[in-house]
Amino acid sequence: MRTASVIARYLAGVIFVVMGLNGFLNFIPFPPPGGIAAQFMGALYLSHYLGVIFAFNSLQVYFSWSTVTYRWRWRCWRR
């Protein structure tokens, strides 16, 4: 069960890293949203709040990965 938990954490971390970098670098093109969603995303983009969201996402990835690797090192050291 520990192995599955570690694999799930790393997989979630990789997904957050890829999607976070995509917010800055746009290497995975997405189709433009339509309707009210397009208006909302346009408002976020014009207010520069979208960059803040992606920055917090990147910080979340950093802290979650550092927590996972710290716990892993601690378990290996105790043995």
Token output for 73: 């090192």
**Higher per-residue confidence, 32 vs 67:** 32
- Residue 66: its pLDDT value, please? 76
Picking from 12-21, 27-36, 62-71, which range would have the lowest pLDDT averaged per residue? 62-71
Residues ≥6 apart with Cβ < 8 Å to 32: 38
Host domain of residue 63 = 2-78
Tell me the pTM: 0.45
Distance separating alpha carbons of residues 16 and 26, to the nearest angstrom: 14
pLDDT in tens, 17-55: 898 788 778 899 888 888 999 999 889 889 989 888 888
Q: Considering its fold, how many domains does the chain have in total?
A: 1
Distance separating alpha carbons of residues 63 and 68, to the nearest angstrom: 9
Is residue 67 pLDDT above 90, yes or no? no
